[in-house]
Every structure is written in C-alpha cells, then in structure tokens.
Amino acid sequence: MKPGGWLSFLLYHQALTPEDIYAAVNALTAEQLQVIAADIFAPDRLTTLIYQPQ
C-alpha cells in the first residue's frame, strides 16, 4: 500500500493510488462538479468565524 493509502482503505476498504484518484477526478463532468459544489457550499452548511484579537 502506498503512503496515504491507509485512509482510503479505512474509508472505502480499498487502497486508492494517486493515479486512481487523478483518474477519478478527471472523469468528473462540469455538471457533476456543480452538484458537488452546491452540496458543499449550501447556505445551511456554511459558518462564519469572527476573530477579534485582544
């Protein structure tokens, strides 16, 4: 298993190589990315942090 492959193995029960990940990302269409982005950046999932140093 390549370095970093342990996480994909724990989550998906398969070791994904960087090449596997690259191929999967390149296979995405613009429409699929828009659906994913809409889910990630949905207004009910966003938070705001206001940092005021003392």
Task: Identify the pLDDT of residue 22.
Answer: 93
pLDDT tens digits, one per residue of 2-33: 555 566 677 777 777 889 889 999 999 999 99
**According to the model, what pLDDT value does residue 4 have?**
54
* Separation between Cα atoms, residue 54 and residue 51, nearest integer Å: 10
Q: Residue 38 to residues 22, 34, 35, 42: CA-CA distances in angstroms?
A: 22, 6, 5, 6
Give pLDDT, residue 26: 95
pTM given for the model: 0.54
What tokens appear for 44 in the block? 């009910």
- What is the rounded CA–CA span in Å between residue 10 and residue 1? 12
Q: For the chain, which residues make up each domain, given as ranges?
A: 5-45
Alpha carbon distance 25, 11 (integer Å) = 18
